[in-house]
Amino acid sequence: MADPTAPWIARYRTLRRPLEIGFWVVVIGLQGVLNTAVTLFDLREAGLLTRWWPPVLWELSSHLVVLALIPALVAWERRFPLHWDTLRRHLPWHLLGSVLFSLAHVAGMVALRHAGHALMGERYDFGPWLEQWLYEYLKDVRAYALIVGALAGYRFLLLRLQGEARVLDEADPPPAAPPAPPPARPERFLVRQLRKEFLIAAADIEWVQAQANYVGLRVGGHDYLLRSTLAEFARQLDPGRFVQVHRSYLVNLDRIAEIEPLDSGDARLKMRDGSTVPCSRRYRNALDPGSAGKP
């Protein structure tokens, strides 16, 4: 199968992690510098700027804690992604997430401010906790919404750029009676990438990974997302070829190059494309060719 991915997208994948980290460092850093400058200017205009370091410490502590919380927000947004079909179910979790984010943010920045003031030989007073936290929450909930919105938009853009898969020919709905035979397993999947479409063969899938409301299909060194649960997608694959080796992974037995046992009883599967897939101890029997397809 010819690789339909644009060269710059392929290069971006290799640098994706450091670029994502760099993006948030730059964004949060610039916001911290701007907010500090505005705070110093306002205090000077009001004639209240007696020392420069307290407002700098306050802004720096706040933005450092927000930056440290970004990985947790990424994991939370991935666990509860927001789509039109999941909005009602996942929105309460994000309301809870905004509260947890604010509590962690306030606790972290207050701890840093106490430490900073102590180094300068002074004592920091945050004020009445409940009143001050409610004030901070009104700001934190906006920051939470902006960050989660940016993550959701970024994921949507990546899906459009790298391609999203779907079943090419879905089975017709079964009649009410008599009981219908098991649905035919699709041999190919259609991948949409921007305005282009191309096919991937089921036999070319090396492994499948559960990713929230999606499964990631590993094909030819690239990953394509398909909206499905792992269990639903497994029913569309040949059980004699694809087996579950982990609660989050299915593998193509024909694509396994080596099985590396681990001291814990688990194993590490080295695939022919050079990638590795974890194999849990409870699923080790699935690697026995005689047991493939058996419950």
The helix/strand/coil state of 209 is: strand
Res. 108 pLDDT band, cuts 50 70 90: very high
What is the CATH number assigned to the segment(s) 164-169+185-291?
2.40.50.1020
Residue 249 near residue 208 (C-beta atoms within 8 A): yes
What Cα–Cα distance (Å) separates residue 189 from each residue in 80, 158, 205? 26, 19, 10
pLDDT of residue 183: 54
Residue 177 has pLDDT above 60, yes or no: no
What pLDDT does 76 receive? 92
* Per-residue confidence band for 256, with pLDDT thresholds at 50, 70 and 90: very high
Mean pLDDT of 182-186: 62
Q: Confidence band (pLDDT; 50, 70, 90) for 275?
A: confident
167 confidence band (pLDDT: 50, 70, 90): low
The answer to whether the beta carbons of residues 273 and 206 sit under 8 Å apart is yes
User: According to the model, what pLDDT value does residue 34 have?
Assistant: 93
Which tens digits make up the pLDDT trace of 3-41?
444 556 667 767 888 999 999 999 999 999 999 999 888
Residue 75 sits at the vertex; the CA angle it makes with 103 and 4, to the nearest 5 degrees, is 150
Q: For 187-211, write each residue's pLDDT tens digit.
A: 788 777 656 777 888 889 999 998 8
The residue with greater pLDDT, 50 or 74, is 74
The H or E element spanning position 13 is helix 7-45
The full set of domain ranges for the chain reads: 7-162, 164-169+185-291
At residue 172 the predicted structure's pLDDT band, cuts being 50, 70 and 90, is very low
Distance in Å from the first CA to the final CA of the chain: 33
> Tell me, what's the pLDDT at 295?
43
pLDDT of residue 162: 67
- Which pLDDT band, with edges at 50, 70 and 90, does 131 fall under? very high
Q: Which of 3-7, 155-159, 166-170 has the lowest mean pLDDT?
A: 3-7
Return the percentage of the chain with pLDDT > 70, whole number: 83
More reliable by pLDDT, 70 or 289 = 70
pLDDT for 224 beyond 70 = yes
Mean pLDDT of the chain: 83
For 265, how many CA atoms within 13 A lie in the half-sphere containing its CB? Answer: 5
According to the model, what pLDDT value does residue 157 have?
80
Q: Does pLDDT of 264 surpass 80?
A: yes
Predicted confidence at residue 82, as pLDDT, reads: 79
Q: Please compute, for residue 280, the number of CA atoms within 13 A of its CA located in the half-sphere on the CB side.
A: 10
